[in-house]
Every structure is written in structure tokens, then in C-alpha cells.
Structure 1
Amino acid sequence: MNKKLVIVLMTAGLAQGALAAEVYNKDANKLDFYGKAVARHYISDNTAVDGDATYIRLGFKGQTQISDVLTGFGQWEYNFQANHSEGGNDAQNGNKTRLGFAGLKHATLGSIDYGRNYGIIYDVGAITDTPVIFDDETYISADNFMTGRGGGRLTWRNNDFFGLVDGLNVAAQYQGANSNSTNNPRSATRANGDGYGFSLSYDTPWDVSILGAWATSKRTTAQNALLLGDGDRADIWATGLKYDHDSVYLAATWAQSQNMTPIGSLGYANKTDNLEVVAKYLFQNGFAPEVGYFKSKAKDLQLTGDQDIMHYWDFSLVYYFNKNMSVYADYKLNRIDKDNNLGIASDDQTGLGLTYQF
């Protein structure tokens, strides 16, 4: 397996559309189509996750050259669950729009876009979002303030700091309020008030990257009425370190959040300390073992005091037939106390999968 393919395979899980197929490129307009078919099965004593988990994911990325220095772009991505019966409610069945945004990019000033996109904190969280199946990150989740994917986000990014410093990247993001309404129905734990945040990263010449991000958001009245958590704002800061050279990938992040980390439907932790560490190696024959450690400890919970709300080791092995096809197994060694008072799942899980991606 040549060095170029090794790099593609190591980064395919870290970038949306990394293996996209170009379907149109004419008159300064380009459209790439990407997706994957994932045949997956979970084995666990936890009946909520045991069984079939097959899904299909499709998306496109397009751009148009407006002038010598200005480019327009857009992206859309959708998830189709294949493990449910035909018919029924799309959202309940897991079918959902993951991404949908459009923007403009200037050669020097950077890019600005608006829509459903990743939160600014994911700039750090992405470096440990690498396990092939069990990537249950401690402080990143969809529609959770400015961490994972979410709507109503205005994002500005500038790489190489206006062309002055190679490898120095800055970003700023604003998110408008998303609360339950007729046009935008959502539960309290999927809502947010106005928020903003910033990220900064530096890619050194030695294959090491240093990252940091911070965000703050208003909380809603409905969120403060839940059993757990009470505060005007949800805050988080995160920092990370990554080493990515040829076949070796090492990354670690540390984050601290306040009134932000959800605990099921009970509400939010007043404060959490979050640690994530991953190590991965891709052999020339196509095998890629990975080990990861994820822990989130909640502080001063109203019901139980300090308690782990996520704590597990992850062990996986992937075999890449080529850049489009892979087979894998992943084992989640859960370290959550079986007698916890919050109903957090404590069962181990095994996942088996076969993925075709393009």
C-alpha cells in the first residue's frame, strides 16, 4: 500500500467527503458527490443498542468561481437508516439532515457560511472523533449548543492567518436561538439560546497541531426547568494536541464545560471534566488497529454528587481492502458503574461492520 493511499485512509474518517467523486466540473462550477453504505451490527446485553444498525449516508459539495479571489460554496448531507421498517416518522427512524449550509470564500479574508454545520468546539473535538464505531465523544453531541452539528450557525474561518503565518488558523462562530416552536419543534435538551465562540489552531512544521476553542451560549427557560442543571449560560473550553505523520496518528483533548453536557432527558451537568485520547497505526498491508480512552466526570450533581457520565476504553481493528472498502470490528469496554443512579448504560458493546465509501 503506497504512502499516498495510507494518508488518504488515515484521514478519510476525519473529513466529510474525503473520497468524494467529481460529477461536474465546467465553466468554473464544480460539484462533488460523496457517500457511504454501512452494514453494521451491534452485540450487547443492552437491548437498546443490540442488533442491526445499518445506514446509508449521502451528500454533495459544490463550488462556483465568482471572481479571481471570490468563490461560492455549499454542502448538504443526509442520513438514511436501513434498520427500520418502511414508513413511519423520519426523525423517529433516524433519518435526518446532518449538514446544510452555503457561503462565500475570499482568497485572503477567509470564508463565511450559514446554516446547519459543525460547532466551533468541534474544531478541537474532531481530532479524537476517530474510533470506527464507538466515537461517543464526551463533550460533542448534535444540537447541543456549539459543540456538534447544529442549525442557525454563522461561521467565519481564516487559514494561514490572512496569508501571514503558515499553519495558523482562526475561526469565529455565532449561533442564533433554537427553541421549541411551531416552525422548529424540539425538546429542551436539543434547544439553545444565542451563542458565540472562537477557535485557534497551529499546525507546526513537525506534524504536530495545537488546538484550542471556547464558546458560550444562553440557556432556555425550559432547560432550567429540567431535573438537573440550572444556570443562565452554557460554557465550554477545549484544548487538544495531535501528531499525524505517515502511518502514525496520536491525539488527545481536554475540555471543561458548565451547564452544557446533557444527561439523557434529565437535564445537564453543572460542570464536567472531559478527557479523550486515541492512538492509531496503519500497517502497509491495510490493517489499522486503534485504541481510545474517553472519560467525562460530572461535578456536584444534584442527585449523586461527582459521577462519571461517560467512561470507556475502545479497541478496534480495521482492514482496508482499498480506499473505498473496509471491514472492521470494534469493542467498547464500558467502565460506568453498574449501580449508578442516573440510568446510564454500563454494558460493554461489540460492533461489526463493512463499509463502502466514495
Structure 2
Amino acid sequence: MNRKVLALLVPALLVAGAANAAEVYNKNGNKLDLYGKVDGLRYFSDNAGDDGDQSYARIGFKGETQINDMLTGYGQWEYNMQASGTEGNRDTSWTRLGFAGLKFGEYGSFDYGRNYGVIYDVEAWTDVLPEFGGDSYTQTDVYMLQRANGLATYRNTDFFGLVEGWNFALQYQGNNESGNNAFGQ
């Protein structure tokens, strides 16, 4: 019996880099979730720029608050920290996401900040691998292909409650001054 438990435990430890979340608070229409991920990576490459430790940790908060029966405020913040840099290297961490918005019932939602571009809505279907996923046309801080700064986004699901499954989004990007770091983030 103990061998069966061990046989199940070993594969579970192999996926330990998966993201995890915890509900910190959920009361009276207010909700706050904490999530994170730790991933140990080592690249073996002939290219000296790619070869070596690529380990990282991510932490994020996601929350919402019920303002009234038709209006909900929401936001998300996510931060990435590369574990391969030295303490003196300041280019090893960055904000991946940081936005706030309002949901107006069946009339849609509007948010602003550092968020995913609407083109990523299509690309996200292929971005499912733990590493090297969604590499076809997605780069950060380039147009609205993936994560970018200054995005004002309106999203609507089920076309104002009239046509089930007809979801759409409109997005505008202001001045995208990305202060790219050594990782292109």
C-alpha cells in the first residue's frame, strides 16, 4: 500500500512548479485572492545569453468588491522575480500585471493599466505549456500582443445579455513607454 502512495506522490512532486492560489478574504461582496508560482529552470544552450539558470518566482493579488447590485470594482497585480540575478542586479524583477476596473452588470467591464492586449485573447488558446508556450507572435510591450502598459479595455460577454457566446473587446493603448529590462520585460 505504501508503494502505491509513493508512486502517486513522486509524479505530484514533479509538477510542484504549478501555480497555486489561496482565498485570503471573502465576505460581504469583497474578495481577495493571493496566488503565486515558483519555477526552477535551467536552460542548456550554445547561446551564452540563454544558457544558465532561469528560475523565477511570481506573486499576485486579485480582488473585487461589490459596490452595488449592478457595479463591481476589480483589480489585479502580479510581480515576477528572477532568482538567477545577484542582489546588485536591479533588472531581475518587474510588474507583469497591474490594473483596476469596474464591471457594469450585463453592460460589460472597463479597466485600465498594465494588462493583456486583446490580441492575446486569441493567442491564449496556444499559451498552455509551462515553458515555451504561445511563442508564435506574442511579445511583451509590443503593440497589444501580450502584456502592455497603458491599456484601456472594454469587454462585453454575451452581447449585453442578448446573444449567448458573443463576446467582444475594445482596447486603446496610450503611450507605451516600457523601460525594457535585460529580459525584454
TM-score range, shorter chain: 0.7 to 0.9
Which residue identity lines up with residue 61 of structure 1 in the other structure? K
Which residue in 1 is equivalent to 2:44? 43
C-alpha contact (below 8 Å) 2:20/2:37 kept by paired residues? no
Which residue in 2 is equivalent to 1:64? 65
Secondary structure at the aligned position of 2:122 is classed as helix
Query: What is the CA deviation profile of residues 172-200 of structure 1, one whole-angstrom value per residue up to 9, with x for unaligned ones?
Result: 00111234xxxx7569xx8xxxxxxxxxx
Which residue in 2 is equivalent to 1:145? 143
Structure label with greater radius of gyration: 1
Q: Within 1, Cα distance between the matches of 2:42 and 2:143?
A: 30
Q: Gaps spanning 5+ residues in structure 1: where?
A: 1-17, 191-358
Q: Within 2, Cα distance between the matches of 1:127 and 1:140?
A: 12
Q: Within 2, Cα distance between the matches of 1:107 and 1:124?
A: 24
Runs ≥4 in structure 1, deviation > 6 angstroms?
A: none
Q: Within 2, Cα distance between the matches of 1:21 and 1:60?
A: 10
C-alpha contact (below 8 Å) 2:124/2:134 kept by paired residues? no
Secondary structure at the aligned position of 1:124 is classed as helix
Q: Given the two structures, how large is their TM-score scaled by the length of structure 1? A: 0.44
Secondary structure at the aligned position of 1:46 is classed as coil
C-alpha contact (below 8 Å) 2:123/2:134 kept by paired residues? no
Percent identity for Structure 1 against Structure 2: 57
Which residue identity lines up with residue 170 of structure 1 in the other structure? F
Which residue in 2 is equivalent to 1:77? 78
Q: Quick one: structure 1 residues 186 and 22, their matched pair in 2 at CA, closer, same or farther if it must change by over 3 Å?
A: closer
Kindly report which structure 2 residues correspond to 1:182-193, keeping only aligned pairs within 5 A, or say none: 185=179
Of residues 171, 174, 197 in structure 1, which corresponds to 2:172?
174
Which residue in 2 is equivalent to 1:115? 113
Secondary structure at the aligned position of 1:123 is classed as helix
Q: Within 1, Cα distance between the matches of 2:29 and 2:132?
A: 40
Kindly report which structure 2 residues correspond to 1:142-291, keeping only aligned pairs within 5 A, or say none: 142-179=140-177, 185=179
Q: Within 1, Cα distance between the matches of 2:24 and 2:70?
A: 24
Q: Quick one: structure 1 residues 36 and 186, their matched pair in 2 at CA, closer, same or farther if it must change by over 3 Å?
A: closer
- Per-residue deviation, 1:167: 1.4
Kindly report which structure 2 residues correspond to 1:307-318, keeping only aligned pairs within 5 A, or say none: none
Relative contact order (alpha carbons < 8 A, sep ≥ 6): 1 or 2 greater?
A: 1
- Per-residue deviation, 1:135: 2.2
Which residue in 2 is equivalent to 1:24? 25
Q: Given the two structures, how large is their TM-score scaled by the length of structure 2? A: 0.82
State the Cα RMSD in Å: 1.9
